[in-house]
């Protein structure tokens, strides 16, 4: 496959964007993820691709999903824990789903109030 026919790889840009969002330099990210600092540079330039284990380490260190880093979803703010809740909500009854939604709203309202200093 020629270079021009290859699908673009969003990983290097996504990795850099998530690192900058978390206000980390490459060395700080490497330390948080338990990786060599030079590896972060190689990943961000596209010179190398991470193994599955290293992809997971990076996602955990950056508090993003692997799907975000791989370009499968666009929401950097989504965190892996939210996916666990979403997977199980379809198994709930309508009344339990409604109660869960009310509880989640209560928690987000509480967090918003705490973040606004109130």
CB-CB contact of 53 with 32 (8 Å)? no
pLDDT tens for 97-115 read: 889 889 888 988 888 888 8
Which residue segment(s) compose the domain that 100 sits in?
80-115
- Please check whether residues 86 and 64 belong to one and the same domain: no
- Please check whether residues 62 and 15 belong to one and the same domain: yes
pLDDT tens for 40-86 read: 999 999 999 999 999 999 999 999 989 999 998 887 776 555 556 66
Q: How confident is the model at residue 38 (pLDDT cuts 50, 70, 90)?
A: very high
Q: What is the DSSP letter of 114?
A: H
Q: Total structural domains in the chain? A: 2
pLDDT at 14 over 80: yes
50: CATH: 1.10.260.40
Q: Distance (Å, rounded) from C-alpha 40 to C-alpha 56?
A: 14
CB-CB contact of 63 with 24 (8 Å)? no
């Amino acid at each position: 496959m020629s270079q021009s026919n290859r699908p673009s790889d969003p990983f290097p840009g996504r990795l850099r964007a998530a690192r900058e969002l978390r206000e980390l330099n490459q060395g700080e990210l490497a330390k948080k993820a338990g990786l060599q600092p030079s590896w972060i540079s190689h990943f961000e330039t596209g010179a190398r691709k991470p193994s599955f284990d290293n992809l997971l380490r990076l996602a955990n260190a950056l508090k993003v999903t692997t799907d975000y880093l791989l370009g499968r979803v666009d929401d950097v703010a989504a965190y892996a824990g939210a996916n666990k809740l979403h997977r199980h909500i379809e198994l709930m009854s309508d009344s339990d789903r409604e109660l869960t939604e009310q509880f989640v709203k209560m928690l987000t309202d509480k967090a918003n109030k705490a973040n606004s200093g109130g």
